[in-house]
Each structure stands twice: as C-alpha cells, then as structure tokens.
Structure 1
Amino acid sequence: MQFINALTSKYDAGEAESFFYLILEEKYQLRRIDLALKPDLTFAENDILNWNLILEQLKLEIPVQYLLGKTSFYGLDFEVNSNVLIPRPETEELVDWIVQSARTIGKDKTLKILDIGTGSGCIAIALAKNIKNAKLFAIDISDKALATAKINAKVNKVEVTFLHENILETTHLNQKFDIIVSNPPYVRNLEKQEIKKNVLDNEPHLALFVDDNDALIFYKKIARLAKTNLSESGQLFFEINQYLGPEMIELLEKMAFRNVELRKDIYGNDRMIVGSM
C-alpha cells in the first residue's frame, strides 16, 4: 500500500499500518473490515490531498495523535495537542491500580482525589469516570494544558475542579485528600538520547524533563505536601522514572510512608509506586 510504504523509512511496517487504519477510522469512519469489503473504494480529490498532507506530517515525525487531535486512554477519548503530553499505556496501569485501591479504601465515603500535573486531564478524568464516589481535583502550571483538560472533562461528562498552580511554589494545600497522584516530569537530560525524535521535537518539554542533579525535585515536594494533606490511611501514587525505583523507595520510606510498593509496567520497567500514611 502506497501510504504505508512511504512511511517505512521512518517507522516499522506495523506502526505505519496502524497509522493508516487509525486515520481511516477517525477521519472517514471506516474500519479495516470496511476496506476489505470495499476493495474498489476510492477517495475524492480533496480527501487524497488530506491523506498526502497527513503523510508529509508523519514523515516529519509529528505524532499521529496530534495530527488527529485526539487519542484514547483507559477506554475514553481525549483531545490532545502540543500543549499536553500524549497519554501512555503505562499511565493507564497507574490509573487501574488507583481504581482497584479506591474500592478498598473508599467503600462508604466520598473520596477526595488530587492529580498534580494533570496535563490533558487523563488521570483525573479516568478516575472520575471509574470511581463513582470520588470528588476530583487537578493542578497544572500550564493554562493551555488546563484549557485542554477542561474540554476533556466536558467531553467525558465528568466534574473535575481544575486549579492553575505551580506545585514547586505551593506551600500548602487547602484541604485533606484520600488519594494524591502525580505523573510529574521525570526524564533527566542525560536520558534525552533515549527519547524518540517524534516525542523530543513535539511534546512539551515542561512536562517531560528535569535537571540531572535534582531528578526527584517534584517527588520530594509532592511527598512533603502529601504528609500534611493526606487523610488518615491516605495514599500517594506516582508514575516514576524507570531508572530511579530504588531512589523512590528510599525517598518515601525516609519520609515515613508506610506499605511502600514499587510496581513494573507492561514493558517490565519500574514505573509506579505507592506509599500510605
């Protein structure tokens, strides 16, 4: 297929094929089976121009999610753009862990949950959708990210209280929470060479990178706030840098969090951690 072949210098064939069918479904509401049942299907001239435009942008390694303006996360649709990170599958695992945990700690009460560094709002919105007795709050430093998150909350028909705040400058939170979760910037500059070009050139660096000499800056600050703003038996969840699992365990245990547990993601990397009050 011409479209797929044109991309194989930048992507493997399977990824290029997935782009084609994703675009086919999102732009033209056609599935793979529809194409198989209509082998003589043709596109109008304007459609062909659109295909070629998308093709050229993909050759520049612009993420297909940004080109389509949306992505899926935890079974929900999210608007995404260059102001927010594209949600990752491993973050879905973190959400699932919290959903399962909430069933244990919040059977008979309303749970207050805070998402710090919400970006597209994917974590907060997925939790609001799947924990019916939860009241969600979400913080981000970026006004543009918050604007996107608010759209996503509306599209997914959930209520989230969004707050514009720089967590590194926050001295206190105004209330107690049963769960605090954060997927903060955690990629060290020394790891930039491991980041794919399409991510490095297009996704917001503010949400990705931290200084090599203070890689845990966000975790330290959020953990300190959590110590005074988690309810009794409250839980602190983080997505983490895969290379800093032992350091994260040490950080939480030194701050007297109990039942610290580190988990691997679907790729076998240390990726998420919890500590309890």
Structure 2
Amino acid sequence: MKIKDLRTNFVDSLSGIYDSEEILSFFYILSEDILSLRRVDVAMRLDQEVSVKQIEVFDKAKQRLEKQEPIQHIIGEVDFYGMSFKVSPNVLIPRPETEELVDWVLKDQPKDASLAILDIGTGSGCIAISLAKNLPKARVYAIDVSEQALEVAKENAKNNKVEVTFIKEDILKVESLFQKFDIIVSNPPYVREMEKQEMKPNVLNNEPSLALFVSDKDPLLFYEKIAILANKKLNNDGVLYFEINQYLSFETKKRIEELGFTSVKVREDIYGNKRMIRACAPKK
C-alpha cells in the first residue's frame, strides 16, 4: 500500500467522528511517529510504499481514535514549550493556553534569577519542568495529590534533564506552605460540572476528573485556598499566577483582590479567552 492510499483509508474510516481537518492532523502526527515523516515529507512521498507492520500500527491507532481516545495517549507524548512530555490517563494533557501561562511567567523574570518557585497541581509536570528548564538558577517545587501523576511528572523531569522537587500533598488540606516563595503558579481544577456538556468525549472519558472538575456551588475553591496560602508565604515582591476558567474571570479577579493581592491582571489567550491571572503579593 502507498502512503496516499493509507491516507485515504484513514480519512474515510474516521469521517463522521471527526472533521476532515482534525483527521488529517491525526494522520500527520501518526506519520511522524510511525513513518518518521513530517507533513511536508508525506506530501513529497505519496507514492512511497508502506510496510505491513506500519499499516498494522496505523490500524491500531485508528481503532483507538474511533473510540475517541486522545491522539496524545496513542503516541504517548506531547510537545510543550519546546520539550517532549509523557502523558497518560493519570494526567491532564498539556494545552497551548498553559504554554502561554508559562511564557508569561518566564517573560516576567530575568533568565539568571535565583528564585524559589512552587507549582501547585503539577500533573504531568509541564509547568514546573518548563520553568526549571528555562530558569536554571531557580529552585522549583511541585505539588500534586495524585501519586500516579507524580510518577509521570518525575519521569518527565528526568527525560528533560531538570531538577524539580516533587511533593505528594492535598493542597486543600494544607494549613501552611513549607517555605517562602518568589513565584507560586497553578493550573488547578476549574471546570464546573455544568460545563461538562461542552466537553468532547475524548476529554471526558480519558482525562482525570480529579484534575478537571469543581462543584458548581464552589467553583473558586482552589483559587481561594491557594491565594490564602500564597498570601502568607510569598516574598514581598512575590507573584501569583493562575490559569483560570474563562467564564469566571471577573469573579476570580475580584476574589483574589479581596484576599489582599495587588496589581491583579487578567490576560487573554491567543483565542481571545480570558484564561490567565497575575497578582502581586500583598505588602507586609
């Protein structure tokens, strides 16, 4: 079978489940993973023969896609801020908007800054590891409640050759953070139960609910708790960064200001959604 025939069969099989652009995106991701061919290479080698073994691997991936399993789980990794991260059903798949949050933190800091940084709810470790990689003098700590998530994060830190101190802790049960920090950053659970209907099955059925959802009655639970802890343990010039629910940006900003933080700024992502907040520590 030639690559062009493989592509046609792949697209036809998944039509009706995904739109054509998304199917082609899956095909090119798999082509790079299975055939070691980038999109531009595929376009130039449409008449190249594909081995029986490679066809089998494509077919298995296609079957998993038919069940709406995330493509990132199928290939086992995702690119994030120029690095490769292992992912599994035990962690959230890192998103582009989280890359924007990391970029905001990094652009606010000199590269040679000696900082103490805490990432709360680290998941795959993508935020903590990206900060550690790009701020080599920083001491980076990361907390998560899930032992399985921490195992993934530790492997990602090792693979990306950075040192991060990982701590198993339920942040909602913490009474005080263990030391002072210059930066506290978090992408906590913020999707309300009512918003489930807006989500695709590949997210709902394959990513950890623990890292996604909060009660409709108390959607700012994590923000409030983390801000209270940060209020006590951020240094005088310390900064708090959050990824937020775009539908609750006003409420989140207001609550953080009520807890004493200053210069609270909401930032939009590349799609125009209000998805990030930066807040300066209260003056002691």
TM-score range, shorter chain: over 0.9
Match of 2:132 among 128, 131, 143: 128
Any idea what SS the aligned residue of 1:50 has? Answer: helix
Structure 1 residue identity aligned to 2:233: N
Match of 1:258 in 2: 262
Q: Aligned residues, how many?
A: 274
TM-score of the pair, normalised by structure 2? 0.94
Between stretches 126-135 and 267-276, larger displacement belongs to 126-135
2:16 is the counterpart of 1:12: no
Query: 1:171-210, CA deviations, whole angstroms, 9 ceiling, x for partnerless residues?
Result: 1111100000000000000000011111011111000000
Tell me how far 1:260 sits from its aligned partner. 0.4
Work out which of the residue numbers 156, 162, 169 in structure 2 matches 1:165: 169
Aligned residues with identical type, % of pairs: 53
Task: Give the CA deviation at 1:39.
Answer: 3.0
Q: State the Cα distance separating 1:21 from its structure 2 match.
A: 0.8
Matching of residues 1-277 of structure 1 within 5 Å:
1-103=8-110, 109-277=113-281
Q: Distance in 2 between matches of 1:173 and 1:246?
A: 27
Matched residue type, 1:273: I
C-alpha contact 2:26 2:71 (8 A) present in aligned 1: yes
Runs of 4+ in 1 over 3 A off after TM superposition: none
Deviations 1:208-235 (A, max 9, x none): 0001001011011100000111011100
In the alignment, structure 1 segments of 5+ residues that lack a partner are: none
Change (3 A) 1:33 1:267: closer
- 1:46 deviates by 2.3
Residue 262 of structure 1 deviates from its aligned partner by 0.5
Q: How far 1:130 moved relative to its partner? A: 1.1
Contact 2:129 2:164 in 1 (8 A): yes
Give, as a single letter, the amino acid of the residue that structure 2 aligns with 1:160: V
Please list the CA deviations of residues 35-66 of structure 1 after superposition, one character each: whole Å capped at 9, or x if unmatched: 33333322222221221111111011100000
**Given residue 127 of structure 1, which amino acid in structure 2 is its aligned partner?**
L
Q: Can you give the 5+ residue segments of structure 2 that lack an aligned partner in the other structure?
A: 1-7
For residue 56 of structure 2, give the secondary structure of its aligned residue in structure 1. helix
The one-character-per-residue Cα deviations of 1:91-126 (angstroms, maximum 9, x if unpaired) are 1110000001122xx86x510000000000000011
**8 Å CA contact 2:190, 2:244 repeated in 1:** yes
User: What SS does structure 2 have at the residue aligned with 1:6?
Assistant: helix
Scaled by the length of structure 1, the TM-score of the pair is 0.96
State the secondary structure of the residue aligned to 1:102: coil
Determine the C-alpha separation between the residues in 1 that align with 2:40 and 2:239.
45
RMSD: 1.2
Q: Secondary structure at the match of 1:181?
A: strand
